[in-house]
Chain A
């Protein structure tokens, strides 16, 4: 009898924990949605303080260039190496350029750049907002009637939406350079064959779609970082947790939205 009662209690406790977790998750999703809505509804106020956005474009975008550049160069090289390995013995090497071009332009370039950007920027935003919250700076803004979303989140979101496509174009350019260097140095394919392959099925529409979707990824990175910054509780540990959650959630949302955009557009 006791055994049965204990079992019922454990099931009840597990159910309660699950309900509590589910409730917390749904509340967080709701607050994320509200923050996204509030950010979008204030986007017109951006032009009243363009200097803040410009400084964020530099801090978040231009300062990401070295990291993105290194990753893009190796991305091109790895794509070529993997493509050669997969194609050997099955597909003629004149299609190597096609495979590399399509992979980089449609998926690898935008998604990997967005992921790297999220790793650097979403964490930075979450840490900044989180530490502002714990040191009462957000409260100070509120009592001075300075809307934190308008002055902190909107300029950062705009900077991310503008700069991530620019970074993606730069990353794709460097990935092609990396790919060419790898082809020349390590693969038994002439540069002429490779470049002919590149041009064979090149479609400007792919580049447009690939770069455009990074605008959505940019907004995701900024809003996710801000959301977890606002949710941060406690001191340094709370801010640390916020940054971890920001980067993980950004990565997941980038892939989810990549899939949704692919379904809608392709």
Chain B
């Protein structure tokens, strides 16, 4: 459904996205994971047309929707197909919950006030909020409630693709689980394709059909949650296990050349020169063990 081809972006001298290729299938939930500063938010902003690439393109149903030097107004047509939940929900502070939800409906449709009220009620119900919330102001809501209202606002226009930017990053574990359930239930009820940008690997395991991992502006993994668990890439294992330093075993030097350059990592991080090497001599073993103890 959505295809990202050779996407490149730089800000000044800093290359943020470096040849990103990714395909998102209809009806699937794809989680884009990565460390802070890895480029996942920049990728997210490309998909929703808030920034445009320096190279490559984005296709939606085989139609190019984003390319270099594109005028923002050209993206307008595609924008109607996206629903977005921002980190922190980005509710309009000066409007009540009901007005937040009604605003896009009032401006883009010819629905009557009664019809708009009905849609608002349904959307709030879908995210597990009662209709009485309509009169509350965003400042009166908790983080979880704000996320739900943001979600309700995103679905009022019935989007085909739903994007979530760090939906659970500021929430407690119980609320995180509720939001994850909500993402799954919305997919069931509305059949939307979903893209979730997150660094919460627990949420990704729970909701994702597919996980794409981005590191230093490149996609270093693209597969199912089961496949990412089995990955032998040290960096991926470090990320999914939440380890502070890289010290996961590798079987063979250069076996991840396509996705992970071990030599470069060693040059950049001399302290990490303690990967378990094949045919390691006996004399090196104590040093490795000492290193491990140090890690712990």
The residue from A131, A136, A139, A145 contacting B104, defined by CB atoms under 8 A apart: A145
Interface: B56 (CB within 8 A): no
A131 CA to B87 CA, complexed, in Å: 15
Interface: B132 (CB within 8 A): no
Contact A143 B93 (CB under 8 A): no
Which residues in chain B, 83-123, are within 8 Å of chain A measured between CB atoms? 84, 86-88, 90-93, 103-104, 107-108
A-contacting 9-mer, from B9-17, B32-40, B74-82: B74-82
A71 CA to B28 CA, complexed, in Å: 63
Interface centre among A131, A132, A137, A140 (most CB of B within 10 A): A140
Contacts known (A137-B93, A139-B50); A146 close to B104, Cβ less than 8 A: yes
Interface: A144 (CB within 8 A): yes
Contact B92 A143 (CB under 8 A): no
Contact A143 B107 (CB under 8 A): no
A142 CA to B50 CA, complexed, in Å: 8
Chain A interface size band reads 10 to 19
Contacts known (A145-B76, A145-B79, A145-B80); A139 close to B90, Cβ less than 8 A: yes
Contacts known (A144-B103, A146-B104, A146-B107); A139 close to B86, Cβ less than 8 A: yes
- Which residue of chain B has the shortest Cβ distance to A139 in the bound complex? B50
A64 CA to B49 CA, complexed, in Å: 39
Interface: A135 (CB within 8 A): yes
Contact B104 A144 (CB under 8 A): yes
- Which residue of chain B has the shortest Cβ distance to A128 in the bound complex? B94
- Which residue of chain A has the shortest Cβ distance to B82 in the bound complex? A143
Contact B50 A145 (CB under 8 A): no
- Which residue of chain A has the shortest Cβ distance to B85 in the bound complex? A140
**B93 CB contacts on chain A under 8 angstroms:** 131-132, 135, 137
A131 CA to B86 CA, complexed, in Å: 15
Interface residue tally for chain B (C-beta within 8 Å): 21
- Which residue of chain B has the shortest Cβ distance to A150 in the bound complex? B107
Contact A143 B84 (CB under 8 A): yes
- Which residue of chain B has the shortest Cβ distance to A141 in the bound complex? B92
Interface: B48 (CB within 8 A): yes
- Which residue of chain B has the shortest Cβ distance to A131 in the bound complex? B93
A144 CA to B107 CA, complexed, in Å: 10
A43 CA to B76 CA, complexed, in Å: 21
A139 CA to B103 CA, complexed, in Å: 15
Contacts known (A143-B48, A143-B50, A145-B108); A135 close to B76, Cβ less than 8 A: no
A151 CA to B143 CA, complexed, in Å: 26
Which residues in chain B, 6-55, are within 8 Å of chain A measured between CB atoms? 48-50
Which residues in chain B, 142-198, are within 8 Å of chain A measured between CB atoms? 153, 157
**A140 CB contacts on chain B under 8 angstroms:** 84, 86, 90-92
Contact A136 B103 (CB under 8 A): no
**A142 CB contacts on chain B under 8 angstroms:** 50
Q: How far is the CB of B281 from chain A (nearest CB, A)?
A: 52
**B76 CB contacts on chain A under 8 angstroms:** 145
Contacts known (A145-B104, A146-B104); A136 close to B87, Cβ less than 8 A: yes
Contact A143 B103 (CB under 8 A): no
A50 CA to B85 CA, complexed, in Å: 29
A140 CA to B76 CA, complexed, in Å: 14
Q: How far is the CB of A99 from chain B (nearest CB, A)?
A: 46
A-B contact pairs, 21 of them (CB 8 A): A132-B92, A135-B90, A136-B86, A137-B92, A139-B86, A139-B90, A140-B84, A140-B86, A140-B91, A140-B92, A142-B50, A143-B50, A143-B79, A143-B84, A144-B103, A144-B153, A144-B157, A145-B76, A145-B108, A146-B103, A146-B104
State the A residues within 8 Å of B (CB): 131-132, 135-137, 139-146
List 11 additional A-B contacts (Cβ < 8 Å) besides A136-B88, A136-B90: A131-B93, A132-B92, A135-B88, A137-B92, A137-B93, A139-B90, A140-B84, A141-B92, A143-B49, A144-B103, A144-B157
8 tightest A-B CB contacts, nearest first? A140-B90, A136-B90, A144-B104, A136-B86, A143-B84, A137-B90, A143-B48, A145-B79
